[in-house]
Amino acid sequence: MNWMLALPEIVLACAGLAILMIGVVPRQNMFFGCTMASIGALVVTAALVLTVPDGTGFAGQVISDGFARFMKLLVLLGAAIGMLMALDFNTREGLDRFEYPVLLLFATLGMLIMLSANDFMTVYIGLELLSLSLYVVAAFHRDNEQSAEAGLKYFVLGALASGLFLYGASLVYGFAGTTSFERIALALVDPASRSQGLTLGLIFILAGLAFKVSAVPFHMWTPDVYEGAPTPVTAFFAAAPKVAAIALLTRVMAGPFAELAEQWQQVIILVSLASMVLGALAAVGQRDIKRLMAYSSIGHIGYALMGLAVASDEGLHGLVVYMAIYLAMNLGTFAVLIAMRRQGKAVSRIEDLAGLGKNDPAMAMWMTIFMFSMAGIPPLAGFFGKLYVFLAAVQGGFWTLAVVGVLTSVISAFYYLRVVKVMYFDEAQAPLDGRPATLTMVMGISGIFTTLFFLMPAPLVRAAQEAVSALVS
Amino acid sequence: MMGVGFPLLSLLTFLPLAGVAIILAVRGDQQTVASNARWTALWTSLITFMLSLVLWFRFDKNEAEFQFVERLDWLADFGVTYHMGVDGISVLFVLLSTLLTPICILSSWEAVQSRVREYMIAFLILETMMVGMFCALDFVVFYIFFEGVLIPMFLIIGVWGGQRRVYAAFKLFLYTLLGSVLMLLAILLLWYKAGTTDIVELFTLTIPPSLQTWIFLAFFASFAVKVPMWPVHTWLPDAHVEAPTAGSVILAGVLLKMGAYGFLRFSLPLLPVASAEFAPWIFALSIVAIVYTSLVALAQEDMKKLIAYSSVAHMGIVTLGIFTFTQQGLSGALFTMLSHGVVSSALFLCVGVLYDRVHSREIARYGGVAKIMPAYALVFMLFTMASVALPGLAGFPGELLVILGAWKVNPWVAFGAALGMILGAAYMLYLYRRVVFGRIARDDLRGLLDLSPREYAVFAPLIVLTIWMGISPQSFLSFFEASVAALVERHHAALGAARLAGL
């Protein structure tokens, strides 16, 4: 048994338990201390992730390869920044309890387990650890009706999705006789073993995972949860778990079910098309910027899934690049959203941004960059994300996907532009409160990455290529 | 691979960004920041212009191939390189862009008082995008610059524009984006087919005719909106009317040329068969554009809108010239693009002069300006005459060549182009008479001051150019003769080859 393969997860789990103890024992508020310790633990984990060798362990239940490493680093980055951004907000809103960073830490642990999974049992453990932690943090503002509602909704629908996933996994077990990814893949090489029941199980698994990535038609929870949860929680939801869930979906489809590509490809194409269209159209009428970002994330997932839908190496490569860029610009956008408070109260209507161009030119500039980047306007980073998935779609001859993709990106440009319009063209309102240095830093780093990505696209593109080649070989 | 020699074109492209960095670094109260931003922007753009003059003197006019070429690895694994260079078709547009930017900055010296810093940053970024677009020799790099133009333009119209600025800015952005994303798909298809996006290498590619049709339509969606051709021109009058004066100048001077440049650079050489097939349709659309928008211009009550419609008509002449595939037609189209870049920019500046003083663009609001501002009336007249293609001024040689080229193809097409000249004279002179001559319509006009030294400085280079282009067109034509000849020859060779293959 090769313990080394799971070293990052083991270390993170132990650190989580230790931080929990540190939080409970002293009599004073340990929110700040625990957050810092958790971020430290994530950084150490990231360093360990880099040192883990390739291979499978724990009787084939855990895998470590280039794809897992790349995605884990993205997830750890997203999680650490997500925690950092909550520091100031939670203190001001009275949410400064030490459980918060600990829950996020365990959610991150769940994501790492999902990413190392090489067996449906491992997947489920990771998925549930992630989901249970997230249900709690969604309702973390427990005196707030909306937040409690968000938590409950997320829990009920999330439990349903987990049920679907589990049912699918058991069907697969029943028809393939194993839950191991490798053995499922081996079993499917023989065309005779590709039974209808297996396809049915695959569809259930797909439905469960589609819920986690909030792809249409399993997206209903997203706007409500995004709107109701405290903004830093929304920021966390939109970043790391999205990346982890998409990566898991990719591994499950490209790994055990690679032979069934014809079956799942149809589903993914439909899901991708529906997500792009709904993400573009439904966002147009939104007034709350968190709801807007929820629909925007649905649309982005549609673009990323386009890469999976074409079922080629180029497509997966596009997907990986897309998620990396999406993570970066999303964190920046949410840093702006978290900074939106007026007279001590968090605000989230789009009109609340009015006059930002006058009152806070720096933040308005970053937000403008993020919005144009999300719309996919060159030379910003978001354009390159779209470029690679569209390239893959064109190469594969998936013209419907490509044409719908570019048309919906024009429609979505409309609502991103509306945010810019409110900030610069509308009459100024009372200025927003000053923002904490942590958020300024996150905005700055993410903004510089988004703006200057075009200078050096090669490193990320190449790293993504290596990750994908590890997955498909 | 490394660039050869001094990277002049990259310097021209990215030097304005250095100005942006300096402006961003300035701290202090609003007054200091504004004045620093103005001076920095002016000096940056002037230095860029001075540097670009090297192109004028060192460009080898007998060479049809690309010059000042630079090449750097960028996305090597995907066959995309950072490849820059100019040939006869693009070199003068680089100069036009670098010339108009300082003029724009100078013209908004007093007109723009709010958010000066952001304004100057937007113009410098715009310059980077424009110059980069004309220099790019890689399709992906071209697309990045081509689309990137939209960001500063959206902000310039939306923040510093007139009453309906939000509507105009959104219309401009979404219209052009919709066209461009379809072109992006065509670019991706070419990329996939050829394994490279290098324009020079793509020129050697033979694309099957059935595919050419689709790619041509995708390109057309993008370029026709940018030109703009009838019936997708409706964003232009709105954008022009609402944009601040300098925004209109850049829009008319450079951005309108991007569409026609796209046809010349990509559609013609890459898709010869489809271009030839679609030529009759383009002629029809161009003639409709010329006649219809000229008539619409006659009915306008707003000065800027009138000049905007006249731009659509002039660009109709340009597209008509391009698709004649003759030496005269192409040269004439290029010359008209240049002269229109100078003359219509100057006309918008003329409107801006009045607007700065009276804050109205309504034609009926004026009258008798000649008696109050004689120098202004003279300048305005020069550009009006150039716009109606009076021989000896900038507008004439280009339109004459287009008509000659069109005559070779079909006399009726030539007749359509000539009709544009007649109608152009009608609406421009009508505008000039109503604004400049006649009784002094309102008493408050009597107090207007004539051109200030700053405004003389703005107009001086444009006046010189207008007369120079009219008297000695050869000094401009000589730049693109070799490239145009090569383009025409290649086009006919490709058509011949396609016909042989068809037999």
Could A394 and B74 be called an inter-chain contact, meaning their C-beta atoms sit closer than 8 Å? no
Q: How far is CA A66 from the centre of its chain?
A: 19
If you measure CA to CA, which chain A residue comes closest to B183?
A406
Q: Name the 3-class secondary structure at A294.
A: helix
| B72: enclosing H helix or E strand | strand B67-75
The CA-based dihedral angle spanning residues A337, A342, A348, A353, taken in that order and rounded to the nearest 10 degrees: -70
pTM strictly above 0.90: yes
Q: Helix, strand or coil for residue B19?
A: helix
Pick from A377, A403, A417: CB nearest B170: A417
**Least CA distance to A371: which residue of chain B?**
B151
Tell me: the pLDDT tens digits for A255-275?
889 888 888 999 999 999 999
What is residue B3's predicted lDDT score, i.e. its pLDDT? 41
The Cα of B9 is separated from the nearest Cα of chain A by a number of Å equal to: 17
Q: Using the predicted structure, report yes or no on whether residue B362 has a pLDDT greater than 80.
A: yes
Of A249-253, B6-10, B27-31, B357-361, give the range with the top mean pLDDT: A249-253
- Residue B126 tokens read as 């715009």
List pLDDT tens digits, range A136-149: 999 998 888 999 99
B155 vs A378, A424, A461: nearest CB: A424
H or E segment at A63?
A: strand A62-64
Q: Do A421 and B188 make contact, defined as CB atoms within 8 angstroms?
A: no
Is A396 in the B-facing interface, judged by CB distances under 8 Å?
no
Residue of chain A whose alpha carbon sits nearest to that of B128? A379
Using CA atoms, how far apart are residues B312 and A193, in angstroms rounded to an integer? 66
Give yes or no for residue B134 having a pLDDT over 90: yes
Q: Which residues contact A386 (CB under 8 A, 6 or more apart)?
A: A303, A322, A376, A405, A409
Q: Give tens-digit pLDDT for A298-333.
A: 999 999 999 999 988 899 999 999 999 999 999 999
State yes or no: pLDDT of B89 exceeds 50: yes
* pLDDT score at B1: 34
- Please give, one letter per residue, the 3-state secondary structure of B77-131: HHCEEEEEEECHHHHHHHHHHHHHHHHHHHHCCCCCCCCHHHHHHHHHHHHHHHH
Taking Cα atoms as reference points, which of A329, A353, A347 lies closest to residue A243?
A329
B107 to chain A, closest Cα gap in Å: 22
Asked whether residue B4 carries a pLDDT value surpassing 60, the answer given is no
Predicted local distance difference test score (pLDDT) of residue A74: 96
CA dist A22 and A124 (Å) reads 29
Are the C-beta atoms of A468 and A67 separated by less than 8 Å? Answer: yes
Distance from CA of A226 to the nearest CA of B (A): 28
- Rounded Cα distance between A125 and A205, Å, is 15
CA angle A146, A330, A113 (to 5 degrees): 85
**Strand partners for B406:** none
> Considering chain A, what percentage of its residues have pLDDT values greater than 90?
73
In this structure, the number of other CB atoms found within 10 A of the CB of residue B420 comes to 26
Touching check for A270 and chain B: CB below 8 Å? no
User: What's A346's DSSP letter?
Assistant: E
Secondary structure letter of residue B208 according to DSSP: P
Predicted confidence band at B164 (pLDDT cuts at 50, 70, 90)? confident
Q: Tell me how far apart the 2 most distant CA atoms of chain A are, in Å.
A: 69
pLDDT at A416: 93
Confidence band for A193, pLDDT divided at 50, 70 and 90: confident
User: Considering only CB atoms, which chain B residues are within 8 Å of A378?
Assistant: 143-145, 147-148
Please give the Cα distance from A109 to A103 (Å, whole number).
10
Q: Decide if A425 and B165 are in contact by the 8 Å CB cutoff.
A: yes
- The Cβ of residue B496 has, within 10 Å, a number of other Cβ atoms equal to 11
SS3 A215: coil
Return the residue in B188, B191, B211 with the most chain A beta carbons within 10 A, the one to mutate for interface testing: B188
pLDDT the model gives residue A127: 94
Given a contact cutoff of 8 angstroms between Cβ atoms, the answer to whether A316 and A255 are in contact is no
Least confident of A236-240, A402-406, B94-98, B188-192: B188-192
Q: Reduced to 3 states, what is the DSSP secondary structure of residue A119? A: strand
> Chain A contacts of B214, Cβ < 8 Å?
none
For residue A41, the distance in angstroms to the closest alpha carbon of chain B comes to: 35
Give residue-wise pLDDT tens across range A55-108.
888 888 999 999 999 999 999 999 999 999 999 999 988 888 999 999 999 999
Residue contact A357–B170, C-beta within 8 A? no
Instruction: Tally helices (H) and strands (E) across chain B.
Output: 22, 2
Identify the bridge partners of residue A56 per DSSP, sorted by sequence position: A63
Q: In chain B, what percentage of residues exceed pLDDT 90? A: 43
Which runs of E-coded beta strand occur in A191-255?
A: none
The alpha carbon of residue A189 is apart from the nearest alpha carbon of chain B, in Å, by 31
- Measure Cα distances from B363 to A202, B111, B368, B422, B438 in Å: 70, 20, 12, 21, 12
Q: DSSP state, A195? A: -
Report whether B338 contacts B92 (CB < 8 A).
yes
Q: Give the confidence band of B496 by pLDDT, cuts at 50, 70, 90.
A: confident
Which residue from B295, B160, B153 is spatially nearest to B235, judged by alpha carbons?
B153
Task: Decide if A189 touches B, using CB distance below 8 A.
Answer: no
**What is the maximum span of chain B, computed from C-alpha positions, in angstroms?**
75
Residue B2 pLDDT > 60: no
Name the residue facing B166 among A372, A395, A425 (closest C-beta): A425
Nearest to A454 among B144, B150, B185 (CB): B144
The CA-to-CA distance between both ends of chain A, in Å, stands at 23
Closest by CA position to B312, among listed B228, B396, B254: B228
Residue of A nearest to B73 (CA): A458
Q: Does A430 touch chain B (CB under 8 A)?
A: no
Give A271's Cβ-side CA count (13 Å radius): 30
Residue B429 contacts by C-beta under 8 Å, 6 or more apart in sequence?
B384, B388
| Residue at A298: amino acid letter | I
Question: How many CB contacts within 8 angstroms connect chain A with chain B?
Answer: 89
Strand B67-75 to strand B80-86: parallel, antiparallel, or no bridges (unpaired)?
antiparallel
DSSP annotation of B266:
I
**Euclidean distance between CA atoms A464 and A316, whole angstroms:** 9
Which tokens sit at B427?
A: 């609406």
Cβ–Cβ under 8 Å, residues B470 and B397: yes
Distance CA A153, CA A175 (A): 33
Question: DSSP assignment, residue B205?
Answer: P
Whether A225 contacts A297, CB under 8 Å: no
In chain B, what is the straight-line distance between the N-terminal and C-terminal CA atoms, in Å? Answer: 43
Closest-CA distance, B481 to chain A, in angstroms, reads 33
Residue B299 above 80 pLDDT? Answer: yes
Amino acid making up residue B217: L
3 state SS of B67: strand
- d(C-alpha B150, C-alpha A270), whole Å: 32
**Gyration radius of chain A's alpha carbons:** 21
pLDDT tens digits for range A45-70: 999 999 998 888 888 899 999 999 99
Question: Residues near B264 by Cβ (< 8 Å), separated by ≥ 6?
Answer: B89, B322, B330, B333, B334, B487
- Please check whether residue A155 is in contact with residue A133, taking contact to mean a CB–CB distance below 8 angstroms: no
Which uninterrupted H or E stretch holds A228? helix A221-228
Question: Which pair of structure tokens corresponds to residue A464?
Answer: 């993504």
Q: What is the pLDDT of residues B365-421, one digit of tens each?
A: 888 888 888 899 999 999 999 998 888 898 899 999 999 999 988 898 888 888 888
Cα A77 to Cα A43, A197, A327, B166, distances in angstroms: 8, 39, 9, 38
pLDDT value for A296? 94
Of A349, A94, A328, whose CA–CA distance to A86 is shortest? A94
CB B302 within 8 A of CB B434: no
* Test mutation, B157, B165, B184, chain A, max A CBs within 10 A: B184
A406 interfacial to chain B (CB closer than 8 Å): yes
CB B226 within 8 A of CB B262: yes
User: What pLDDT band is residue B502 in, cutting at 50, 70 and 90?
Assistant: low
CB-CB under 8 Å, B74 with A391: no
Arithmetic mean of pLDDT over chain B: 88
Task: Specify the pLDDT at position B156.
Answer: 92
Contact A403 B185 (CB under 8 A): yes
Q: Please name the residue of chain A whose CA is at the shortest distance from the CA of residue B218.
A: A403
User: What is the distance in angstroms between the Cα of A207 and the nearest Cα belonging to chain B?
Assistant: 31
- What single-letter amino acid sits at B268? L
**What's the rounded Cα separation, in Å, for the pair B233 and B251?**
13
Distance of residue A467 Cα from the nearest chain B Cα, in angstroms: 15
**Chain B residues with CB inside 8 Å of A391's CB?**
188, 191-192
How far apart CA A86 and CA A83 sit, in angstroms, is 5
Residue type, B110: E
Question: Cβ–Cβ of A394/B188 closer than 8 Å?
Answer: yes
- How far are the Cα atoms of A222, A285, A347 from residue A350, in angstroms, in the given order? 18, 11, 9
Rounded to the nearest 5 degrees, what angle is found at the Cα of B104, between the Cα atoms of B431 and B400? Answer: 50
Q: With H, G, I as helix, E, B as strand and everything else as coil, classify residue A117.
A: strand
The packing angle between helices B88-107 and B30-58, to 10°, is: 160
Quickly tell me which residue has 């066209």 as its tokens. Answer: B179
Q: Average pLDDT in the A10-37 region? A: 91
Q: What's the rounded mean pLDDT across residues B447-457?
A: 87
What pLDDT score was predicted for residue B461? Answer: 93
Amino acid at A112: L
